[in-house]
Each structure stands twice: as structure tokens, then as C-alpha cells.
């Protein structure tokens, strides 16, 4: 079981439970994050694009049906669906992958993130510069490392330069990657899939405050009594629970 699957699944489930349990669902921004987590704008997977807007909306409607079955307010569901219909998500005209075969039209910018830095490209979406600034908070965003090893002032400037985001922070803060770069003492490697499959991560200090949540399986395939102890040992959490025998 990978950390990415565990983390993404947990985020989706907790987000849905939080929305449904809220006495004021509108405050929770409706179904926005649940839709974007389960029906990403560019495509259903990291390297697969939606074939059409209709295919993507089928995914959106499935999410909305689940919320509807849980008695989520119909007025909010209708609003959220209309927003997705108006978006460019799933439209092949606004799909890009960082290669010359899928360029962005006009003055739009290709938003690309790929911790594996695959030269074949990654599923991305073309955004107008104004929307890029609005959705990513370009002015206050942290520095970002591109797949070509260049550090940019923000991820927005990286994308405007035609780069693919490998990880946040400077390139010197990178860990994992093809050479499995370690982190200095007092930090741990924050990455998808524990960065043990060639993906890049970023060396960061342990989170503070840290909440003891029960046993966790670390990226070193050792069981820790809680996530605080794992981070203190310089190890990221692979998933919550005891490590399974034969964990790959």
C-alpha cells in the first residue's frame, strides 16, 4: 500500500466527512475539493488525459451523486456542477504535457507537476495567467525547483518559463530522485510514495505541533508508535497503521 494511495484516499474521505458533518455546508466550499481530488482537471491519472469534457463530467456527476445520496443541499450541488461545466477541464484544446506535441494556445500557461520528471511529459492543463495567479497565490508562493534543476522564485514563474515542477523549495533542498538523495539530520524527505521509486521530494523539518495518532508505518518500513516519533527519526509516514509483513 503506497503512501500516495493512503494519503489521497484519507484526504478524500476526511474531506467528504468534514463537508457532510458541517452544520453550514456552504462554508466548506461545497464539493469543490472532493471533485478536484477525484476528478483532476487534466486527466484521471498522472499521465492520462480525459478524452472529452463529457468524460470528465461523468466523473464529476458520480461524486455529486454520492453527496446527493448523503443529503447534501441540492442548491449547492447545482452550483458546483455549473462551475465545473464552465471550466476548461477535460477540453482537449487546453491540455498540455510539457512537450511540443501539446502546446498551450495563446498566452495561457501550462501548469505541470511531476515529481518523477518523466521526459515523455505529464498530464497538465492550460491556464490563463490571471487564473494562475488567482489559484496559486503567485506572489506569496514558496520557491520552486524545475525538472531541469533550475530554482525559480515561485511555481508560477517556473510554469511561465515553460518548466515542470519537481518539488517546492530550492533544488538544493531536494531529496529522493533517481539517486535517492538523503536529507540532513533534523529533517525528513516529504515526497509522494516515500521517494523510494525515483520521485523527488523536499527536505523539511518535522511538523510542529505534531499530534500522536497511533502506530504508523514509516518510509523505512519500520513501525513507529506514532507519527511524531517517525518524523523525529527523520522518516516520513508511508501509511497509518502497523507495517505489513512483506511490505514492498
In tens, the pLDDT along 170-211 reads 999 999 999 999 999 999 999 988 998 899 999 999 988 887
Residues 87-128: tens digit of each pLDDT = 999 999 999 999 999 999 988 999 999 999 999 999 999 998
Sign of CA dihedral 38, 178, 155, 168: positive
Q: Which of 23-27, 88-92, 170-174, 218-222 has the lowest mean pLDDT?
A: 23-27
| More confident position, 16 or 141 | 141
Q: Give the pLDDT confidence score for residue 126 in this predicted structure.
A: 95
What CATH topology corresponds to 95-181? Wheat Germ Agglutinin (Isolectin 2); domain 1 (3.30.60)
Question: Percentage of the chain surpassing pLDDT 70?
Answer: 86
pTM: 0.75
- From the CB of residue 3, how many other CB atoms can be counted at a distance below 10 Å? 21
Which residue has better confidence, 221 or 15?
Answer: 221
Q: Domain boundaries in the chain?
A: 3-90, 95-181
Asked whether the beta carbons of 89 and 9 are under 8 A apart, the reply is no
d(CA 99, CA 40): 20
Do the Cβ atoms of 235 and 220 come closer than 8 Å? yes
- Residue 94 is given by DSSP the state G
Q: What are phi and psi of 148, to 5 degrees?
A: -90, 5
Amino acid at each position: 500500500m503506497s503512501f500516495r494511495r493512503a494519503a489521497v484516499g484519507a484526504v478524500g474521505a476526511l474531506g467528504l466527512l468534514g463537508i457532510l458533518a458541517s452544520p453550514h455546508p456552504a462554508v466548506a466550499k461545497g464539493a469543490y475539493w472532493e471533485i478536484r481530488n477525484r476528478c483532476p482537471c487534466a486527466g484521471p491519472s498522472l499521465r492520462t488525459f480525459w478524452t472529452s469534457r463529457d468524460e470528465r463530467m461523468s466523473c464529476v456527476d458520480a461524486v455529486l451523486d454520492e453527496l446527493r445520496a448523503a443529503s447534501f443541499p441540492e442548491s449547492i450541488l447545482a452550483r458546483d456542477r455549473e462551475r465545473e461545466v464552465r471550466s476548461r477541464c477535460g477540453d482537449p484544446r487546453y491540455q498540455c504535457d510539457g512537450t511540443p506535441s501539446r502546446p498551450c494556445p495563446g498566452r495561457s500557461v501550462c501548469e505541470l507537476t511531476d515529481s518523477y520528471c518523466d521526459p515523455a511529459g505529464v498530464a497538465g492543463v492550460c491556464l490563463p495567467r490571471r487564473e494562475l495567479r488567482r489559484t496559486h497565490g503567485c506572489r506569496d508562493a514558496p520557491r520552486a525547483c524545475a525538472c531541469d534543476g533550475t530554482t525559480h522564485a515561485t511555481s508560477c514563474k517556473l510554469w511561465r518559463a515553460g518548466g515542470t515542477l519537481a518539488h517546492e523549495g530550492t533544488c538544493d533542498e531536494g531529496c529522493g530522485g533517481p539517486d535517492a538523495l538523503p536529507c540532513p539530520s533534523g529533517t525528513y524527505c516529504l515526497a509522494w510514495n516515500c521517494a523510494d521509486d525515483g520521485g523527488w521530494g523536499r527536505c523539511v523539518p518535522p511538523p510542529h505541533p505534531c499530534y500522536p495518532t497511533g502506530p504508523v508505518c514509516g518510509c523505512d518500513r519500520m513501525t513507529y508508535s506514532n507519527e511524531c516519533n517517525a518524523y523525529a527519526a527523520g522518516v516520513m509516514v508511508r501509511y497509518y497503521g502497523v507495517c505489513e509483513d512483506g511490505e514492498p
